[in-house]
Chain A
């Protein structure tokens, strides 16, 4: 009798405040921080908000005793080019899922093929299980997941690892969230050859490349965190640099920008060191000038394909 759906009259009293539930979980803070700290990535942010909404609704349903017996599956796949923020988002995701009470501990265990696949027969299963045990109560992040499956070698142990992962994803659904990450085209091939994996992942999230403006905003955030700033000429130079760099080979979005800034810091230090007799001001120590950026190989007229 007690488990019957509530009649309309008492449903009024049982009305739950979803906004309050979301506030109490403190997940909003993480989502807002994500919104603030990560530039662009609109489709990713939308999906994270949807997942957060789903979990709050699911919790409300549980409070009224109308939740299904299976918790929603939250295994995810992050695809996108290098440097688009897959690992960063995965870390935040662990935090969000923890605050919303979906995972108990909220830690992120980041692994690649080497951590899962053994070197000889009988080595793979214990290795994969150990990783799964470590990730329980949190998020298992498998970077470059397509390396797990090597179709050219039919005796490769990767397949065994995939099977154990699938089993854990199905049986330990409330203990563990698995996030696979990798480049788009290679992950597509991976999912085509492992339909079981693809069908067990509810959320396929694609990370778009950054626009030049977004990359510039990222650069400013990075510099701010390192307590540097750009001079006016430096800003112009950096914008030009970003446009040039995007067209080059091995462009890795935010990661390329970080490397470029590290090299600019190097050149700034060299420049300041050259005039050390004159002494340097606090301002000079903090400012990256146009020269520091324009010294890059990209700006040389005879520049060949390269990364510097």
Chain B
């Protein structure tokens, strides 16, 4: 029996869709800029769903007017980390939100091995479940 029919991780917006083209990314960033979000480019090679804080690629970008500059940073990040996950987040600093309002993946490793289900025996006969990435079993930087 195979359970690996879908090996693409699904985190953030648009992750069930095919990869966004640069034009589509530009349109999304345009929207974020229009709403006044600060844009981050972040990367990781540990895509566990509980890994909330990815590494930042450069400084967050405030006060930009045009998506071209952000696309330039995204392409820099893709070139530096071609086998990492790269995502773009839009942070809304307005009161009451103060949180990322947008987040979507713009780069993935060529092959994504997926996750294993790990069962741990608890007290009595209870079993605790967690998942663990096959890729993350190797050291950081050699995962994909």
Q: What is the CB-to-nearest-CB distance from A26 to chain B, in angstroms, rounded to a whole number?
A: 20
Partner of A175, one of B59, B61, B63, B66: B66
Determine whether the beta carbon of A105 is less than 8 Å from that of B69: no
Residues of B within 8 A of A134 (CB): 63-65, 69
Q: Evaluate contact between B72 and A133: CB separation under 8 angstroms.
A: yes
Tell which of B59, B65, B70, B72 touches A138, judged by Cβ atoms closer than 8 Å.
Answer: B65
Q: Residue-by-residue, is A164-185 near B (CB-CB < 8 Å gives 1, otherwise 0)?
A: 0000000010011000000000
B92 at the interface (CB under 8 A from A): no
Considering only CB atoms, which chain B residue lies closest to A133 in the complex? B69
Per the bound structure, the CA–CA distance linking A58 and B58 in Å amounts to: 37
Q: Count how many chain B residues have C-beta atoms less than 8 Å from C-beta atoms of the other chain.
A: 13
Assess the A136–B59 pair: CB atoms within 8 A. no
Contact of B27 with A by CB under 8 A: no
**Could you say which residues of chain A place their CB within 8 Å of the CB of B69?**
132-134, 136, 175
Chain B residues in 8 Å Cβ range of A172: 68, 72
Hey, what's the 0/1 contact readout for A12-35 against B, CB within 8 Å counting as 1? Answer: 000000000000000000000000
Say whether B58 contacts A137, CB under 8 Å.
no
Among the listed A130, A132, A136, which residue makes an inter-chain contact with B65, where contact means beta carbons less than 8 Å apart? A136
The answer, yes or no, to whether B73 is at the interface (CB within 8 Å) is yes
Decide: B64 and A136 in contact? CB cutoff 8 A.
yes
Q: Which residues of B contact A137 (CB under 8 A)?
A: 65-68
Contact call B59/A105, Cβ cutoff below 8 A:
no
Contact A136 B68 (CB under 8 A): yes
> Measured between C-beta atoms, what is the minimum distance from A129 to chain B in Å?
9
A134 to B63, CA, bound (A): 7
Within 8 A of A (CB), among B43-72: 58-59, 61, 63-70, 72
**When the two chains form their complex, are residues A133 and B64 in contact, meaning their CB atoms are under 8 A apart?**
yes
The answer to whether A136 and B66 have CB atoms under 8 Å apart is yes
How would residues 90 to 109 of chain A score, 1 for a CB under 8 Å from any chain B CB and 0 otherwise? Answer: 00000000000000110100
**Taking the nearest CB of chain B, how far is it from the CB of A224, in angstroms?**
33
User: Taking A133-B72, A133-B73 as contacts, is the C-beta distance between A104 and B66 under 8 angstroms?
Assistant: yes
A105 to B58, CA, bound (A): 24
Q: Using CB atoms, name the residue of chain A closest to B66.
A: A137
Contact A138 B68 (CB under 8 A): no
Q: A126: which B residues are within 8 A, CB to CB?
A: 58-59
Please, how many angstroms separate the alpha-carbon atoms of A138 and B33 in the complex? 15
The residues of B that contact A104 with a CB separation of less than 8 Å are 66, 68
Cα(A172)–Cα(B65), bound, Å: 15
A174 nearest CB neighbor, chain B only: B68
- Encode B84-103 as 1/0 by CB contact (under 8 A) with A: 00000000000000000000
10 sample A-B contacts, Cβ–Cβ < 8 Å, listed by A number: A130-B59, A133-B61, A134-B65, A136-B64, A136-B65, A136-B72, A137-B65, A137-B68, A175-B68, A175-B69
- 3 closest A-B pairs by CB: A137-B66, A133-B69, A175-B68
